Amino acid sequence: MALNTWTTLAAVSLLSLSMPQVPGRSAAVPAPRVEAGAAVLMDAATGQVLWGQHAYRQMDPASTTKMMTAYLVIRAGGLQRTVVVSPRAAGTPGSRMHLAPRDRYTRLDLLRGLLLPSGNDAAVALAESESGSVEAFVAEMNRTARALGAYQTHFVNPNGLTKPGHYSSAYDLALIARAALQLPVFQHLVSTPIDRVTELRRGKRRVLHNSNRLLEAFPAADGVKTGTTNAAGPCLVASATRGGTQLIAVVLQAPHRWQAAARLLQWGFSAWRRVTWLTPTRAVVRLPVAGGQPGMVAAVPRAALTTLVPRGAVEAARFVTTSPAALKAPVGRGAPLGRVTVVVNGTPVGSRVLVAGAGVARRGARRRRAWPWTVLHFPA
């Protein structure tokens, strides 16, 4: 296959694809006003940003930091392992699970204390159990933040107590929440309003209440994490799921965080619809193949593309396809043929590589005949 000059074939792709049908189209719903120092609304499935306000501004994240702590511990496993609480962990100030030195808890119960009542002491106990020291654990937090693409984030501790050099952004916190919500244990814990833990040394059971009031105030809410310090003000990472779509709303320095997050989530569900634009079984465009038999090849997406789009915007979508100016036989099945980009209201919402849906042989090429070999057997 020869790839020559590349050209844009937007008109061809528009003729090749009919627009996906979306039930319940309506006029666009105006974006809400949100009183917050920074905020963002994200699709949990794809990471698509639906709305933002100073989303990349570095801010004090307060206890929303604990999402990363929980993410690392849950991903590492060993949640039934017993942890002996150190004096350092027990003496951590701020919001607490009320640990005492030499208390014994499973890591799972410490996670409950971390995510429900937002225990700073539980964060230190978990960090020490995972990495041997808080300092080593924080280094892993920062490595993981970079791996997730949270480039406006730097952690100094595992709990979010205000310290110089400890910061994140609304967008980064949404990224971290999105990654953590893919862990079933995390999803279960942050969606639980009330839970119980057991101190193993004395067998004492206690009830823990989730500090996230949105779980009971907003229908379909299922997470994620509160945060409050004098420096950060009220913060909230919230999530909710309706009709198979989970949205993540982050509000930082938000005086009315519950209302702000609820408005963002409600707007997301009201104003957006999920659309499957591309599937690997559906040709985007058919391209001529010089010297080929047949003389055309179907270009199909290598993978499906599904995004959220504003209501009423589907009709304004167009498909922009880049492909080679000329193809020569033979063309192998799955060979790259270009790229298709979906553009809605002038904004690209996603793209996929185009590949050959079937092979194209050179015209007149003969098939090799299999030689009737005789298998001979020789004595050992």
Q: Which domains does the chain have, with CATH numbers?
A: 6-17+282-360 (2.60.410.10), 38-271 (3.40.710.10)
Which of 26-35, 55-64, 181-190 comes out lowest in average pLDDT? 26-35
Question: Can 225 be counted among the known catalytic residues?
Answer: no
Residue 76's pLDDT band, with cuts at 50, 70 and 90, is: very high
This prediction's pTM? 0.85
Mean pLDDT over residues 360-374, rounded? 63
| Cβ pair 284, 278 in contact under 8 A | yes
| Measured distance CA(97)–CA(90) in Å, rounded | 9
- Does pLDDT of 26 surpass 50? no
- Does pLDDT of 370 surpass 60? no
Give the count of beta carbons closer than 10 Å to the beta carbon of residue 313.
19
| Cβ pair 286, 295 in contact under 8 A | no
Burial 233-265 (b: 16+ CB within 10 A, else e): bbbbbbbbbeeebbbbbbbbbbeebbbbbbbbb
Q: Which of 13, 63, 86, 239 is catalytic?
A: 63
Q: What percentage of residues in the chain have a pLDDT greater than 90?
A: 83
Question: Can 63 be counted among the known catalytic residues?
Answer: yes
Of 29 and 276, which is predicted with more confidence?
276
Residue 365's pLDDT band, with cuts at 50, 70 and 90, is: low
pLDDT of residue 279: 97
The strand pair at 204-209 and 361-362 is best described as: unpaired
Q: Could you identify the residue written with the tokens 């994240």?
A: 61
| Measured distance CA(306)–CA(292) in Å, rounded | 33
Phi/psi at 368 (nearest 5 deg)? -70, 135
pLDDT of residue 366: 59
Mean pLDDT over residues 31-50, rounded? 95
Calculate the average pLDDT of the chain: 90
Query: What type of residue sits at position 86?
Result: S
Q: Which of 118, 168, 323, 351 is catalytic?
A: 118
* Residues in CB range of 265: below 8 A, 6 or more apart: 41, 218, 221, 238, 240, 247, 249
Radius of gyration of the chain from its Cα atoms, rounded to whole angstroms: 27
| Measured distance CA(301)–CA(323) in Å, rounded | 12
Question: Can 163 be counted among the known catalytic residues?
Answer: no
| Cβ pair 253, 234 in contact under 8 A | yes
Which of 74-78, 143-147, 364-368 comes out lowest in average pLDDT? 364-368
Per-residue pLDDT tens over the stretch 103-133 = 999 999 999 999 999 999 999 999 999 999 9
Per-residue pLDDT tens over the stretch 221-265 = 999 999 999 999 999 999 999 999 999 999 999 999 999 999 999
Mean pLDDT over residues 180-193, rounded? 98
Q: Write the DSSP symbol of residue 63.
A: G
pLDDT of residue 123: 98
Closest CA to 242 of 268, 270, 220, 265: 220
pLDDT of residue 103: 98
Q: Which of 13, 16, 66, 169 is catalytic?
A: 66
- Does pLDDT of 25 surpass 60? no
pLDDT of residue 276: 94
